[in-house]
Structure 1
Amino acid sequence: MRERVHTTTKFALRMKTNLEVVDDGYKWKKYGKKKIKSSPYPRNYFKCSTVGCNVKKRIERDMKDSSYVITTYDGVHKVAPDL
């Protein structure tokens, strides 16, 4: 039996903002929202709406300081953002 090897690029940004979603130049489609057990703030899930792009991101408030938003990206975009 062969094992699948997943090679993805993942990185996170922590930004001070009152906004729930920060504009990063890409178009995103929200596909989920989940209550986090250890946090009073939900986590939102998005995927890039560009055809053929498989990048996903999740956004949540920092539990220790709610004035910060943590955005985690999973993957690399195939096209440049619309700035």
Structure 2
Amino acid sequence: MKARVTVMLKTGVLDPQGEAVRHALGSLGFDGVSGVRQGKVIELDLAAGTTEAQVTDMCEKLLANTVIESYAIEMMA
């Protein structure tokens, strides 16, 4: 069993890495990009029977800084 956790900065939180990527894309001639938000994807290999609630607990305690980040969980077979 696997889970994919996507962690992103919350709306309104400054994203300097995203801004640097947006600027670099403009420098390379990709002028149509008006904003970039950068995040991370974490894939977990889980023991059979692990619940989404347990993955949520992992996110709340370690994988995401819930003060400034939001997360989404995708459970996969």
Shared fold, TM over 0.5? no
Q: Which has the higher strand share?
A: 1
TM-score w.r.t. length of structure 2: 0.35
TM-score w.r.t. length of structure 1: 0.33
The structure, 1 or 2, with the larger RCO (C-alpha pairs under 8 Å, 6+ apart) is 2
Q: Which has the higher helix share?
A: 2
Rg bigger for which structure?
A: 2
